Amino acid sequence: MSQTVSAAAPTAPAAPAKAGKAPNPAVSGLRPLALDVAAPLVGYYLLHSACGLSEFAALAWSSAIPAGRTVLGLLRERRLNLWAALMLVVNLAGLALTFVTGDARLMIAKDGGLTGTVALAVLVSGLIGRSVMTPMVMPFITKGKRDRAAAWQRLVEGRAAGSRAFRRHERVFAGIWGTALLAECVARVVGAFTLPVATMAWLSTVFLIGAIAAGSMLGQIAVEPMAKLVRAEAEAPTAA
């Protein structure tokens, strides 16, 4: 008589629940710049150059994105979206200056006025402790690492031992960029009324590239100490 033994088949371990992928801090840091800076600029050039809209109409329509994000930030988060507000101010200044026509020198000086608007906004934001330049450098310092992103947030919010030093370097960084852009504005306006128009047609671009290069290189004076503070805060025993 054969006896049948029934053995229960081993149960395979349940597959772990698929957790949603956490957003990359670097991508999260660059997204606001893409929405608040790149989108309005691309929108303006597409509407003006590709679609044939007037400069005034293109500026007006491209202002919808920063205007909407500024209002949304005030209503939902009860705080001002600094980059969106800055781009809105720049666009409004551009709208006001579109009436400056008929004189090539004034048109060149107008572009310098827009750079000057950005420069003043950068300098003022640094003075009041809410630098619009800080989010730009955040992805490059945190390098997509979540512990560094968390350390950055603690430093910005004043919850870390190095927050005071971090804020001081923030102001220095904003001061460097604001000064570089303001110098570009002054050089372009002065050049518009003292140099030949044909010269300024290419020299104004050189001024802008020079300002960006100066801001990038001199900005390392503040970026390197900020990066050290972020690394130290991320590695601190109390970081967890």
Domain range annotation of the chain: 25-99, 102-240
* pLDDT confidence of residue 33: 62
| Per-residue pLDDT tens over the stretch 59-98 | 788 878 777 877 777 777 676 666 777 777 777 777 777 7
How many C-beta atoms lie closer than 10 Å to residue 106's C-beta?
14
Q: Is the pLDDT of residue 40 over 80?
A: no
pTM of structure: 0.71
Is there a contact between 141 and 148 (Cβ–Cβ < 8 Å)? yes
Token duo for residue 78: 């009860």
* pLDDT confidence of residue 114: 80
pLDDT interval class at 18 (50, 70, 90): very low
Write down the H helix ranges in 34-145.
Answer: 39-45, 55-62, 64-72, 82-97, 104-127, 134-142
Is there a contact between 118 and 174 (Cβ–Cβ < 8 Å)? no
Higher pLDDT, 157 or 15: 157
Q: What is the CA angle 83-114-178, rounded to 5?
A: 60
- The percent of residues above 70 in pLDDT, for the chain, comes to 79
Residue with tokens 């923030």: 170
Non-local CB neighbours of 234 within 8 Å, separated by 6+ positions:
145, 147, 148, 150, 151
Question: What is d(CA 82, CA 70) in angstroms, rounded to the nearest whole number?
Answer: 8
| Per-residue pLDDT tens over the stretch 176-214 | 999 999 999 999 999 989 999 889 888 988 998 999 899
Is there a contact between 199 and 147 (Cβ–Cβ < 8 Å)? no
Question: What is d(CA 173, CA 181) in angstroms, rounded to the nearest whole number?
Answer: 13
